Amino acid sequence: MTSQDIEKLRLQMRELTNEIFLTVQQRMEISKEIGEIKSHLCLDVTDQSAECDIRKSIMLLSKDIGLDSKFSNRLLNILFAESVKVQEMKQSDGKQTHLSVFNKAKQLEAEGKRIIHMEVGEPDYRAPPSVRNALIEAYDHGHYHYTETVGISKLRQGIAKDVGQGVPDSNVLVTPGARFGVFAIISALVQPDDEIIIIEPAWPAYKECANFMGARVRSLRTNLENEWTPNLGELESLINDDTKLIVLNYPNNPTGKILNENMLGKIIDLACAKSIFLLSDEVYSNHAFTRFRSILEYEYDRKIMVSSFSKRFAMTGFRIGYVVASKDIIDKAKNIQALAVTSVSEPIQYCALAALNNGGEDNTHLIKQRLELIMKYLDKLSIPYVKPDGSFYVFPRIGDEFDRKDLSLVDKLLHSGVAFAPGSGFGNQYHSFIRISACQPEALLAEGMEKFERIWSSQ
């Protein structure tokens, strides 16, 4: 065997590569034709069942001819994505979320306008006084160096003890906020050829992180009529061989829903049967008005719990949270954290430790009272909603299903001095909802709801 042999083989390789691209081009032509017919018939561009059929048959073929299944999947995803692209104009990405309303509100404030913030889930009460001492001590003791990427030992121990369930320290990763926990887990566990399932309406970060990784998102939609309960049969039908992760978020943002134990158990059984990772975002677990069971109470090696100090200790702006999962999963998420941020700010880690050891009072009852105040206004206006089981929010319906009026209403409200979050930020199907946050003193909430009432009644 010589270099000349290589040259001969390389020539063959070039010819085959050309052939591949010519066939791909033919495929795109067919795809365009299908696109034109679909547009005449007003059909959706993406046809999941057609894709699914092709995927199944190609996977069988790949197995027969000895191609790696991951590779074939990736190749297929690229072909599918390009087909969709040639079939449709890129959708405008002018999507509004609670965060974009918050940023607009901040701008208006900078221009001197007074805004009542009912758009973000940021507690108005103070962080525990123990945190003040922690800040001073961090400076005085020189606790402002790189720490181990996973977090300082004392804090990991504190978190492990706090979550209970016999979780060892090694199963804890301290992160710069729960958001980074979600980002690290999705980046670590999900590949471009994978699918994740989210239950909508949902905090937009799950979908955004999956999109960032080039993964496909399947949405299980829930609705007000069913009190935001997911349908298990539908969930099952969304699962396929590519499903890598299901995201749960209870108490839910934006609906305030808590799953009953029976339902949660069934979802865990389903994930377990199919070896799917289960990411449970429990940042509102300390604001539950009915019994809440953490995913940590269940036995399953692919469960992941994300939480933070933000909502419980009013420490949003400190940016500190954590992930609890098996050592194996933690190691993978740790690699993402090492890559992106090295480690979490050491003074802030000591603040979190102080809050755990000597935290503030429980504000659950306070939040519940405030939510009741908001609900009274909604009742008066006969606006439908499901009474929240927990979290900081009410998610009322402000129109009919096809009434895409959340954005214009939110905009009107913002310019009258109160910021609400548009429902569509939590899923495309929720344009007829808004999210109202109870993170202000009652007097301010009442003022905000009166502004709402005025604009609502003048519609």
Q: Would you say 176 or 256 has its CB closer to its own copies?
A: 176
Write the burial class of residue 280 (CB in 10 Å: 0-12 exposed, 13-18 middle, 19+ buried): buried
Our finding on whether 19 is near its own copies (CB under 8 A) is yes
Our finding on whether 339 is near its own copies (CB under 8 A) is yes
Q: And the tokens for 161?
A: 């003890």
**Window 71-110: residues binding its own copies (CB under 8 A):** 71-72, 74-76, 78-79, 82, 85, 99, 102-103, 106, 110
The only residue of 158, 163, 174, 177 in contact with its own copies, by rule CB under 8 A: 177
Q: Would you say 86 or 272 has its CB closer to its own copies?
A: 86
Our finding on whether 356 is near its own copies (CB under 8 A) is no
Least distance from its own copies to the Cβ atom of residue 440, Å: 13
Our finding on whether 344 is near its own copies (CB under 8 A) is yes
**Window 140-159: residues binding its own copies (CB under 8 A):** 140, 142-149, 153
Instruction: Answer yes or no: are the C-beta atoms of 96 and 424 closer than 8 Å.
Output: yes
Q: Would you say 231 or 345 has its CB closer to its own copies?
A: 345
Our finding on whether 23 is near its own copies (CB under 8 A) is yes
Instruction: Answer yes or no: are the C-beta atoms of 305 and 296 closer than 8 Å.
Output: yes
Quick one: three-class SS letters along 92-124?
CCCCCCHHHHHHHHHHHHHCCCCCEECCCCCCC
Our finding on whether 36 is near its own copies (CB under 8 A) is yes
**Window 307-326: residues binding its own copies (CB under 8 A):** 315-320
How much of the chain is helix, strand and coil, in % rounded to 5?
50, 10, 35
Residues 6 or more apart from 72 whose CB is under 8 A from it?
58, 59, 62
**Window 188-217: residues binding its own copies (CB under 8 A):** 192, 205, 208-209, 212, 214
Handedness of CA 360, 361, 364, 368 (dihedral sign): negative
Least distance from its own copies to the Cβ atom of residue 292, Å: 24
**Window 37-66: residues binding its own copies (CB under 8 A):** 37-38, 40-41, 50, 53-54, 57-58, 61-62, 65-66
Stretch that binds its own copies, among 121-129, 259-267, 376-384, 389-397 (CB under 8 A): 121-129
3-class SS of residue 36: helix
Beta bridge pairs of residue 325: 304
Helix (H) or strand (E) holding 281: strand 277-281
# binding residues, its own copies (CB under 8 A): 107
Our finding on whether 16 is near its own copies (CB under 8 A) is yes
Asked if the bond preceding 254 is cis, omega within 30° of 0, the reply is yes
Q: How many Cα neighbours within 13 Å face the side chain of 247?
A: 33
Our finding on whether 273 is near its own copies (CB under 8 A) is no
Least distance from its own copies to the Cβ atom of residue 145, Å: 4
